[in-house]
Structure 1
Amino acid sequence: MAQSLVVKVTAGMDAPERCSQAFTVAAVAVASGARVSLWLTGESAWYALPGRAAEFSLAEAAPLPDLLESILAGGRVTLCSQCAARRGIKQEDVIEGVRIAGAQVFVQEVMAEGTQALVY
């Protein structure tokens, strides 16, 4: 059974290095064969919208759209329901493959046996 990793990213352009680290770790974990669930919360919520990841830029970092694409291809991406609501984001607004879910789902994922969790 593959190991599971839940990555919760709270940062966006307000803390670009932290944001990039979260996406990079999630993408590397997917490439390594782990079951990955990336949670977009706080300012990272904007990256659930089409085109927003392309606005992100950080020297010496992998492009955020590429990282997000690889995570979506091999893992799960979830937008926090409260974060979405505060920003007026609805399910029909997000990138295909991104779901909106709340704290109960996050807790279930984190508490699953064999799961590691990281918060950025």
Structure 2
Amino acid sequence: MARSLVIKVTAGADAPERCNQAFTVAAAAVASGVPVSLWLTGESSWYALPGRAKEFTLPHATPLNELLDVVLSAGRVTVCTQCAARRDITVDDLIEGVRIAGAPAFVEEATAEGAQALVY
């Protein structure tokens, strides 16, 4: 069974280096052929909305919108159910290909055989 990577990012513009690191690792894994599931929680939930990732800037870092595009090209992106609700984000607001799911789905992915979970 191929090993997969489940990445939960809990930070957004409030902790830009941590946020960017999660997206960078997710995109690098996708580019390497690793199955990736990127979970956007807390302030990173906003990057599931059109145009929001493009607004994020961090010196010497690949633009967040480009990293997100890489992950969406071959991985899965999920916004936490409660995080979305607290921000009044609905499925109709999301970038195409992003879903909303809760803790049971995260636990299922993170505990699957061969899965490695990382939290940023």
Within a 5 Å distance, the mapping from 1:48-67 to structure 2 comes to 48-67=48-67
Q: Give TM-score scaled by structure 2 length.
A: 0.99
Q: What are the residue-to-residue correspondences of 1:24-63 with 2, within 5 Å?
A: 24-63=24-63
Tell me which residue corresponds to 2:115.
Answer: 115
Structure 1 segments unaligned to the other structure (5+ residues) = none
Q: Where does structure 1 differ by over 2 angstroms across 4 or more consecutive aligned residues?
A: none
Residue segments in structure 2 that go unaligned for 5+ positions in a row? none
- Name the Cα RMSD after superposition: 0.5
Letter in 2 for 1:15: A
Counterpart of 1:105, as a letter, is A
Could you tell me the TM-score, scaled by structure 1's length? 0.99
Q: Which residue in 2 is equivalent to 1:106?
A: 106
Structure 1 residue 3: Cα displacement: 1.6
Deviations 1:39-87 (A, max 9, x none): 0000000000000001100000000000000000010000000000000
* Number of the residue aligned with 1:3: 3
CA contact (8 A) 1:38 1:76 kept: yes
Q: What SS does the aligned partner of 1:33 have?
A: coil
Equivalent residue of 1:107, what SS?
helix
How many Å separate the matches in 2 of 1:23 and 1:16? Answer: 11
